[in-house]
Chain A
């Protein structure tokens, strides 16, 4: 598949994609209906086609570039967890923490 790496970000988040798709569907169907009525009244099918093509231009301008309104609901990623260090570190930390504290507390009492 053609997958081009653009030098700028082209993504939209999922809500934005849904909004963009719904928007261009509505725009093109609207211009199609307008074009059908105008073409029927003028008895020129070319008017219908021009209307749809104009709708395509408007939709392309509004939905293909990644405008900021399509990025309002970014995906919430979880915080990265460092897998190897942390699982061992948790066990050692809990055992290490408890004993040094005990010894430290114990020692001053003994000295006094």
Chain B
């Protein structure tokens, strides 16, 4: 502690230790938090098409097309350890080929401080709803919204929100070129 530099060095090292202890304190204070919430999801006008999937194996697969209506309030989820949320909407269904299929239809990143009460009215899905095969007709599909908590100091948790809905696809393909909105692929 004889000169400026050794005093400054000691001060800096002690500060870093104190910050590490405080960050551990933040982690412990939110360790048992479950981050649950309720949302409302609506599937509007689901149809099934039978088309060639050019991004996969060139076979003809089933393509589901639907619009989404979402309403959610995420403000209670942002405690002092949450930096941002990664939301994703998953469609789950059963086919004879696979016991469980999960397709992500829409996602969004919500940062701390941004608008957390989100409402979407009949938006197109962000990603294509391709089936691995041709079993979407008359299939009962469950849509559920999940979020991935990105913390300042803590675990990365995936939480499923309450309020999932189910719908059934029609039992006929749409063959003619009907005016149905295509997935946008970007926000």
Contacts and interface: CB of A to CB of B under 8 A. Distances in A.
**Does A pair with B?**
yes
A72 to B, nearest CB: 16
Contacts of B22: 32, 35-36, 48, 52
A28 B14 contact: yes
Contacts of B11: 24, 28, 56, 59-60, 63-64
Contacts, number: 66
Contacts of B14: 24-25, 28
B1 interface: yes
Nearest to A51: B22
Interface string B62-84: 00000000000000001111000
Interface string B9-28: 01100110011011001100
B168 interface: no
A40 B80 contact: yes
Contacts of B26: 39, 45, 48
A76 interface: no
B7 interface: yes
B156 interface: no
A36 B25 contact: yes
Contacts of B78: 43
B18 A20 contact: no
Interface string A33-67: 00110011011110011001000100110011000
B152 interface: yes
A32 B3 contact: no
B54 interface: no
A4 interface: yes
A2 interface: yes
B117 interface: no
B3 to A, nearest CB: 5
B59 to A, nearest CB: 51
Contacts of B8: 60, 64
Contacts of B5: 2, 4
A6 B18 CA distance: 30
A45 B152 contact: yes
A12 B5 CA distance: 13
Given A36-B25, A43-B80, A52 B4 contact: no
Interface of B: 1-5, 7-8, 10-11, 14-15, 18-19, 21-22, 25-26, 29, 78-81, 152
- In the A-B complex, the 9 residue pairs with the closest CB atoms: A17-B1, A43-B80, A45-B80, A32-B18, A64-B7, A10-B3, A56-B15, A43-B79, A10-B4
Given A10-B4, A39-B80, A59-B11, 18 more contacts: A4-B3, A4-B5, A6-B4, A10-B2, A10-B3, A12-B1, A12-B2, A17-B2, A20-B7, A21-B10, A24-B14, A29-B18, A36-B22, A39-B26, A42-B80, A52-B15, A56-B11, A60-B11
